[in-house]
Amino acid sequence: MAQPPLELATLPVEEVPCPLCDADDGRLLSTQQGRFGVVKCRRCGLVRLSPRPTREAARRLYDATYYAAGGYDDYVKTFERFRDVYERLFAKRLALLSRYVAGPGRLLECGCAHGFQLEWLRRQGWEVAGNDVSAEAAAYARQHFGLEVVEAPLEEAALEPASFDAAYLVDIVEHLYNPGAALANVRAALKPGGVILVQVPYELYRWEKIGQALWERKRPGTVAPDAVPYHVTFFTPRTLKAMLQRNGFAVLARYSGNYGTIRKYLSPPEIRVGSTLETAARFIYYKLGLRPALQTLALWFKQGSGVIYVATPA
């Protein structure tokens, strides 16, 4: 740990324009933790965090606290504990990618954290490399698995041009300060015909979040998004697709993702909250099978907790 944990209340912040269309014209949906704005662009509809921590403050946040905070408890211990759940997710993701890339080939994982998925992929015969902004995570990946990790924000990462058959960007784009530049960087690192698999959380406008807003008598989009201030962009299927297209990708397919699967195991939903009516409603929703039923139904309509696109350079 290079620095002590930062106080969110005194973190330096900055206001930023829309990372998709550059417009400055936003509508405030909500204020989180008393100082971070959740703002919807009036021109293109993308939702961003503004004010958000400055770049320098964000770097320190990731170094000092991210893999201990952010709902992951101790990341390494969590992986060991739920290894089978993780490996099922890895296998499912690879099966999906394999519909578009003849593998095994060379794969880059952007936001590879401690390298667990890369190490698993290597066992499946893939040649792998990673990228992560966290010095602590990158050091772990190198020391424990001998992985090659480019330690830098993805926007600035020095990636070998035209050298990868595939890239994963799983639960990373929503963290990036300049997602467009990062996507362009990954695009240049792909071989001709290379493919990316991108997953982001489907926040704020997914059916469950809209339901939550209505239940709380709020307007859709105004409930608290996940992981503020680590998440700085809150995508929908439409805005993520626009972000990919604007940065030189053609979309091949869309799928429903599994964002938050592990956290479901770590912190099950609380039932006894608020009034008797609310506790009863939560019991029916979480315990009597209403939620799993709705979630299964949602997957059929591609309304799962994550948005996945498979895309290739246009």
Is 21 an interacting residue with respect to Zn ion (CB under 5 A)?
A: yes
User: Interface with Zn ion includes 138 (CB under 5 A)?
Assistant: no
Q: Which stretch binds Zn ion (CB under 5 A): 10-18, 81-89, 187-195, 228-236?
A: 10-18
Note whether 114 and 79 are within 8 A (CB).
Answer: yes
Q: For residues 288 and 281, what is the distance between their CA atoms, to the nearest angstrom?
A: 10
> Near Zn ion by CB under 5 A, which window of 19-27, 139-147, 170-178, 201-209?
19-27
Residue 310 CB, nearest distance to Zn ion (Å)?
A: 24
Q: Which is nearer to Zn ion, 44 or 152 (CB)?
A: 44
Q: Which is nearer to Zn ion, 41 or 167 (CB)?
A: 41
How far apart, in Å, are the Cα atoms of 155 and each of 111, 131, 133, 179, 180? 12, 11, 10, 7, 8
Is 44 near Zn ion (CB under 5 A)?
yes
Return the number of the residue (42 or 55) whose C-beta is nearest Zn ion.
42
Q: Does 18 bind Zn ion (CB under 5 A)?
A: yes
Could you say whether residue 311 binds Zn ion (CB under 5 A)?
A: no
**243 interacts with Zn ion by CB under 5 A:** no
Is there binding between residue 29 and Zn ion (CB under 5 A)? no
- Judging by beta carbons within 10 Å of its beta carbon (0-12, 13-18, 19+), is residue 289 exposed, middle or buried? exposed
49 is a site residue for Zn ion (CB under 5 A) = no
43 binding Zn ion? (CB under 5 A): yes
The distance of closest approach from Cβ of residue 44 to Zn ion in the complex, given in angstroms and rounded to an integer, is 3
The residues, ordered by sequence, that sit 6+ positions from 109 with a Cβ below 8 Å of its Cβ are: 117, 118, 121, 128, 129, 130, 131, 167, 168, 170
Does 139 sit near Zn ion (CB under 5 A)? no
Closest CA to 50 of 27, 21, 78, 73: 27
Residues 6+ apart with CB under 8 A from 221: 29, 40, 47, 204, 205, 209, 213
Residues lying near Zn ion in the complex (CB under 5 A)? 18, 20-21, 23, 41, 43-44, 46
